[in-house]
Amino acid sequence: MRALDLSPGRVGGARRALLRAGQGAALALPVAFLALFFFYPLFAIARLSFADGMAGVLETLGTRYYWRALAFTTAQAALSTALTLALGLPGAYVFARYEFPGKALLRAVAGVPFVMPTVVVAVAFGALLGPRGLINQALQALFGPATPPIRPGGLQAVLLAHVFYNYTVILRLVGGFWANLDPRLEQAAAMLGASRLHVLLRVTLPLLAPAIGAAALLVFIFTFTSFGVMVILGGPRLATLEVEIYRQTAQALRLDVAATLALIQLVCTLGLSLVYTRLAARAVTPLELQPRSYTARPPRTRREKVLVGAAMLLITVLLGAPLAALALRSVLAPGPGAPRVTLAAYLALGQNLTGSAFFVPPTAAIANSLRIAATTTLLALSIGVPAAYLLARRPTPPRPGAPLPEKRLAVIALLDALFMLPLGTSAVTLGLGYMVALSVPGLGGLRTSPWLIPVLHTLVALPFVIRALAPVLRARSPRQREAAALLGASPARAWLRVEVPQIAPALATGAVFAFTVSLGEFGATLLLARPEAPTLPVMIFRFLGQPGALNYGQALALATILMLVTAASFLLLERLRPPGGEF
């Protein structure tokens, strides 16, 4: 029998081999998660679409109604993008070129609507502009008309809500790039005799074109797949592909038609996502960028002060008025007469006023949402941290001074794109994919599993966690870990004591994003939530579909609670955000 070799070199080599094996297993986890819970449901949709060959697909494609839905989806997304650009670009310019009191706070407040659940946004605009909204109630109290004097059309309300929701995309993506452009380029053009209009058209806009294109395309993708805003504010006549997928699934029970429509939408969004990736890469191409402290200055002339004041007023009114109206409307008693403050809607949240044996109290939905969000946060971090490490690994050249291996770089770039795919995929499409995939014999029991919705929410939140961590991990220095190893620390101890404190802000940012995304996810949850275990957005939607002032008041109360939790989470995220984060 051979003697057991316990020499330090052999033991150290075995420990390194075990460490590499453990790292390989940890890095395989996010890839396996994406394959099982993202690509397999999409494959199930494609398989159902072509279950009868091309006959079912051709039948759906031959129906004019679905082509009109696609045309309307594209048109409303284009209108929403144009309006968002028209209102957002002046704000981006102000935030890029001027310093003024309250700028940091106003920028943080402007970001709150972006993470606000779509159900809350829709209910907020209904509380402000709807037939029972504050403006109509005020006008009826002052002038006494019997019917609400302001009746914005469904499309008008949808467009306003989309601008409200995506304004900060323009403000951050375009404004962030604009803030680093060297203003001497514009000054040189002006010294050569160019007017302000020519400087804007011939110098500034060409430099900003990649950033504007990327931001506009991102807004277009978000509005192309908008569901909560469309289904609540749009009404039954405004059917987008997203709404039609839900109707065919939940109401008509035509999963084959829904799968074909979801496949069409998926092809559109993935194509747009690829274009966005190319534009975003061009937007980060280095020019001669300057620090923001150099490019921004206080407004001096009256024109500059008016411009800054108008931007501040627009953000306050456009972004603040709907949320304020939601909170105020939730504590006002319904009916004519002088406004009267009441907490009746909040007090009724725990009461079974109908006496139904199947009643689920809204407080149970709140607890259910918090439980799902906490589970999603743990799952998203458990999968997102290894994925971020995988994307942040530096390929080692074959010899010192040699170029990095192109194949390794291509693999990392491909994995980065794959992990971002859930961000450009419709939540309703994912929900449909889960329904179809779990209809296979032997998997039906998973449809009622309490883990199903947290897993789906993890998939939606995963890109945010990776994007929060990956830049920080790429920027870290390996020397500190090497120094800890020289001092005798094990790899695990070095990671806990040296690396974790460095990436803690990014971890916290990813956790807050995952928690917030899960708390407000609506489209897929509406399809998959069990009747006895609804989430907060699903419960709000149920109350909106029931008649009576008290039901509407409870929807407002729940939306206000969700708004406050989401806003508090985002403002906390702004304080924790690391300098290298991408969101």
pLDDT digits (tens, 9 = 90+) for 156-199: 888 888 998 888 888 888 887 777 776 666 667 777 677 677 77
Residue 141, in any domain of the structure: yes
Span 237-289, pLDDT tens digits = 778 888 888 888 877 777 778 888 888 888 887 777 777 766 665 555 444 44
Task: Give the number of domains in the chain.
Answer: 2
CATH number assigned to the domain comprising residue 242 = 1.10.3720.10
**In the prediction, which pLDDT does 8 show?**
46
Same domain, 428 and 474: yes
Domain end among 283, 300, 329: 329
Half-sphere exposure of 221 (CA within 13 A, CB side): 26
Encoded tokens for 20 = 């590499």
Residue 3, in any domain of the structure: no
Same domain, 384 and 280: no
Residue 177, in any domain of the structure: yes
Closest listed residue to residue 92, CA positions, set 163, 207, 169, 165: 169
Residue 204, in any domain of the structure: yes
**In the prediction, which pLDDT does 160 show?**
87
Same domain, 391 and 523: yes
Same domain, 546 and 583: yes
Ranges of the chain with pLDDT below 50: 1-4, 6-12, 14-15, 18-19, 285-290, 402, 580-583
Closest listed residue to residue 258, CA positions, set 530, 48, 448: 48
Q: Which amino acid is at 179?
A: A
Residue 336, in any domain of the structure: no
159 neighbors 77 (Cβ within 8 angstroms): no
Residue 272, in any domain of the structure: yes
439 neighbors 268 (Cβ within 8 angstroms): no
Same domain, 70 and 35: no
197 neighbors 210 (Cβ within 8 angstroms): no
Same domain, 377 and 472: yes
Same domain, 380 and 305: no
107 vs 104, 175, 322, 407, 553, CA distance in Å? 5, 11, 17, 41, 31
Residue 51, in any domain of the structure: no
Same domain, 293 and 381: no
Same domain, 506 and 441: yes
Burial of 8: CB neighbours in 10 Å, binned 0-12, 13-18, 19+? exposed
Span 398-422, pLDDT tens digits = 555 545 556 666 666 677 777 777 8
3-class DSSP assignment, residue 56: helix
550 vs 129, 347, 541, 543, CA distance in Å? 19, 11, 14, 9
Same domain, 419 and 555: yes
Burial of 571: CB neighbours in 10 Å, binned 0-12, 13-18, 19+? middle
d(CA 458, CA 456): 5
Between CA 555 and CA 562, with CA 560 as vertex, the angle to 5 degrees is: 95
Same domain, 519 and 447: yes
Residue 188, in any domain of the structure: yes
Same domain, 247 and 357: no
Q: Which domain holds residue 485?
A: 24-39+350-395+404-583
